């Protein structure tokens, strides 16, 4: 059975087809409009809290298998960038400048699976060419990446997170490895999909100094999405408004002192 979003998209396509058909006299009208509406409920965004991030990072660092298969370093990268899992799998050392005054990573592609079963690096992220972005890395992530660079083949065209054979790594397998790693360290009470890290970054960067979420533009630029998509899919609502008291001063009467 198709999901509701898929069904809604199919209905939209069919409606367009029937509209054209009726315009040219091939149909008496658009019968798709007679169908009941498909209601797609928005699920609340759930991000990891700062405490949960600390718990995950420290737990994975102590897990030997996660360190060996790269899951520990991968989660660090996801939390330092907000990258999608496919974008991370497509990264090569040429995309990093770890020794600059402001160390960066350039996200310009993603791993996709072809219909025949093979995998390639698509020359742009999921959102298209506009999704390409250069991100400044935090110091703790740079330290981890430099350590990883010393342990792996690190020519410019070498993958940062290769398979055991040095080839492209299947994002589906990585998701399973991450789930098993989180289960091993006892993280079973929060979302375990790699996308949770992306939501965590979006939520963290959207928060302003007053505890509100007015910095959506910052989060959107980091994630490579529009502000509307970022707000809807990648920011956990805190229900905390901004500190806008100075703007309300315009409503003050002359005899009010504002205290």
Cα of first residue to Cα of last residue in the chain, in angstroms, is 60
56 in a structural domain: yes
The pTM assigned to this predicted structure is 0.81
Radius of gyration of the chain (CA): 23
Separation of CA 24 from chain center = 44
Pick the more confident residue, 8 or 164. Answer: 164
pLDDT for res 20? 80
257 in a structural domain: no
Question: Tens digit of pLDDT for each residue in 23-81?
Answer: 777 677 777 676 767 766 678 899 999 999 999 999 999 999 999 999 999 999 999 99
Structure token digits, residue 157: 């065209």
Structure token digits, residue 62: 């102590």
105 in a structural domain: yes
92 in a structural domain: yes
Question: Tens digit of pLDDT for each residue in 1-17?
Answer: 556 667 767 777 877 77
Beta bridge partners of 133: 107
- The total number of structural domains in the chain stands at 1
20 in a structural domain: no
Sign of CA dihedral 115, 105, 83, 142: positive
In which domain, by residue range, is 163 found? Answer: 50-172
Burial of 224 (0-12, 13-18, 19+ CB in 10 A): buried
Structure token digits, residue 65: 């298998």
Quote the mean pLDDT of the chain.
89
104 in a structural domain: yes
23 in a structural domain: no
167 in a structural domain: yes
- Containing 205, the helix (H) or strand (E) segment is helix 195-206
In angstroms, the CA 251 to CA 193 distance is 47
């Amino acid at each position: 059975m198709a999901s509701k979003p898929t069904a809604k998209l199919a209905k939209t396509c069919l409606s367009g087809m029937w509209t054209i058909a009726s315009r040219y006299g091939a149909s008496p009208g658009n019968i798709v409009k007679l169908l009941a509406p498909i209601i797609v409920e928005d699920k609340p965004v759930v991000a990891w809290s700062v405490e949960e991030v600390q718990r995950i990072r420290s737990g994975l660092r102590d897990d030997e298998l996660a360190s060996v298969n790269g899951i520990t370093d991968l989660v660090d990268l996801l939390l330092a960038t907000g990258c999608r899992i496919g974008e991370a799998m497509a990264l090569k050392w040429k995309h990093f400048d770890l020794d600059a005054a402001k160390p960066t990573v350039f996200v310009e592609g993603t791993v996709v699976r072809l219909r025949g079963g093979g995998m390639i690096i698509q020359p742009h992220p999921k959102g298209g060419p506009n999704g390409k972005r250069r991100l400044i890395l935090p110091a703790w992530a740079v330290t981890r990446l430099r350590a990883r660079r010393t342990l792996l083949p690190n020519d410019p065209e070498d993958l940062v997170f290769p398979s055991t054979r040095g080839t492209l790594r299947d994002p589906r397998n990585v998701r399973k490895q991450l789930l098993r790693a989180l289960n091993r360290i006892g993280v079973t009470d929060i979302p375990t999909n790699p996308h949770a890290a992306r939501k965590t970054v979006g939520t963290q960067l959207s928060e302003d100094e007053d505890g509100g979420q007015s910095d959506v533009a910052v989060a959107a630029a980091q994630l490579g999405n529009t502000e509307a998509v970022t707000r809807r899919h990648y920011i956990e609502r805190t229900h905390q408004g901004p500190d806008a008291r100075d703007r309300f001063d315009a409503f003050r009467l002359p005899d009010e002192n504002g205290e």
